[in-house]
Structure 1
Amino acid sequence: MPALPAPYGLYVYAIAGPDTAAHAKRCRAVGDANASVSVVGRDGLAAVVSPVSGRPRARRRDLSAHQEVLRVLADHGAVLPMRFGVIAPDADTVLAGLDAARPTHLAALERLAGKAEWNLKGVHVPDALPDLLREDASLRALRESTRRRPGYEANVRLGEAVAVGLQRRAEQAAADVVAQLRPLAAEFSEGRDITGGALNASFLVPHTAATAFRRAVDALADRHRGRITLTLTGPLPCYSFVPADPVPAAV
């Protein structure tokens, strides 16, 4: 059990199997410069933790340390990641949280084994107006009307119609992208809406399918060039495919 500075607290990074968790012990800890990463667990389940003397702020150093621990863990096995800033009062609380949801945690680790999260975002292409006009006769008519009778209200209507049209084209492309990629993933999760975006989704992809998945994204980006711009990020910790609070007792 790690030694704790006052006030006592444990920063919780993730839950993993003991063998996987042990690989994080050489990582830099969040918060206190002299703190070390350690493992709290029993009976085949472990939490990766480090002592803290206060609630860490979202500084670059600490965010980087948190992500590095998760990266190292993910390189060696399945991980249930915690969001940045989760602190438990003591090791007993962490152990109680592990015990209370042991079947759920073990099932989740088994489900995530050999897989990683890939996030895909898509935004409409702002300079695709010529393509939009070729496809949309009503928009062409509105633009001609605005040219004949220019004015503030006419320009606003045209601008709104263009924005709606670009978004519609991007959303149509996004639907095709998701339909093509879902068979390559074990699971799929829709993310929060993003400004100017038509797609924000995460895919749980087996490591053995990662290359095929990336190639499929590249092919779809080419297919829908001019409708949507795709940005793929990964592999990532599986935040979108684990319970919101893997350690329910943490505070």
Structure 2
Amino acid sequence: MTENGVYVYAFIPEGEVLSADAVGVGSPPAPLRLVGEGRVIAVVSDAPPQLRARRRDLMAHQEVLLRLSDSGPVLPMRFGAIAPDEESVRAQLSGSQAELLATLSHLEGAVEINLKALPAQNALAAVIAEEKNVRRLRAAVRRRPDYEANVRLGEAVATALSRRAADAGKKVLHKLTPMARAVVPGPEVHGCALNVSFLVDRSESDTFRATAQRFADAHRERVELRVAGPLPCYSFVSSQNLRTPVAGG
């Protein structure tokens, strides 16, 4: 058992190898190693003392997962997953072989792409031109400016911007869903009309992103699209796959 436990990055199929200089979290970065049991192996390192979500370590964790995904499917762990020792990791592998293998097969050749839809920036002119209620309230403010009238106008503009973004979000979701193997909603994000992740064939990820960008360009007065990826496939790993002594550090 290492002093601070074993940091777990991911589960991958047996047969994969790591470069001799592969490193992960910590300062100095901890060397990576493989813990094997059956047809699935874990990528681990010694856990650093007093692990915190520092940018350096978050980026190191992400980089390990992205490099692993270059050579095959990866079942990623969230940042901060620490097991007491290697035997605990082997027990997880031994007890969950079927589930882990099924998930790895599902993720073969795929990446995650996240899309967020937000109200368009600098779209006031379009809102005034296209939203009758906003035009009416704006005219009222001009005739008789006061605090309450300005508040009503501001609320109407905000509501219109959010509704327009939500409508555009539905349209882009309908357009992109056929291009993905699977789609899952993400957690609610303040200010976002849509937060969703797509499981996309790695070979199609550039086409997917280009399609999203064309939609964003054509609807820039309604929505701002933020596209992130390719990413490790966090959103497509069921928590049931990770029944484990591993716990967030």
Name the TM-score, length of structure 2 as normaliser: 0.93
Between the aligned partners of 1:112 and 1:130, the Cα distance in structure 2 is: 44
Alpha carbons of structure 1 residues 165 and 47: separation in structure 2 relative to 1, 3 Å: same
* Matching residue of 2:8: 12
1:175-202 deviation digits (Å, cap 9, x = unpaired)? 1000000000000111122232222111
Say if 2:187 is the partner of 1:192.
yes
5+ unaligned residues in a row in structure 1: which ranges? Answer: none
Say if 2:204 is the partner of 1:205.
no
Q: Is the 8 A contact 2:32 2:45 kept in 1?
A: yes
5+ unaligned residues in a row in structure 2: which ranges? Answer: none
* Matching residue of 1:243: 238
SS of equivalent to 1:23: coil
Q: Structure 2 matches for 1:1-251, cutoff 5 A?
A: 5-7=2-4, 9-20=5-16, 22-23=17-18, 26-31=21-26, 33=28, 35-244=30-239, 246=242, 248-251=244-247
Between the aligned partners of 1:143 and 1:197, the Cα distance in structure 2 is: 26
Once the 2 structures are TM-superposed, how far is the Cα of residue 156 of structure 1 from its aligned partner? 0.7
Number of equivalenced pairs: 246
Alpha carbons of structure 1 residues 47 and 25: separation in structure 2 relative to 1, 3 Å: farther
Alpha carbons of structure 1 residues 110 and 34: separation in structure 2 relative to 1, 3 Å: closer
Once the 2 structures are TM-superposed, how far is the Cα of residue 5 of structure 1 from its aligned partner? 3.9
Between the aligned partners of 1:5 and 1:136, the Cα distance in structure 2 is: 63
Once the 2 structures are TM-superposed, how far is the Cα of residue 25 of structure 1 from its aligned partner? 5.4
SS of equivalent to 1:26: coil
SS of equivalent to 2:112: strand
Matched AA of 2:109: G
Q: Is the 8 A contact 2:2 2:85 kept in 1?
A: no
Between the aligned partners of 1:181 and 1:29, the Cα distance in structure 2 is: 34
Between the aligned partners of 2:74 and 2:22, the Cα distance in structure 1 is: 16
Counting aligned pairs with the same residue, the percent is: 45
Matched AA of 2:88: T
Q: Is the 8 A contact 1:124 1:166 kept in 2?
A: yes
Q: Considering only aligned residues, what root-mean-square deviation do their CA atoms show, in Å?
A: 1.7
Between the aligned partners of 2:93 and 2:20, the Cα distance in structure 1 is: 19
Moved over 4 A (4+): none
Q: Is the 8 A contact 1:118 1:234 kept in 2?
A: yes
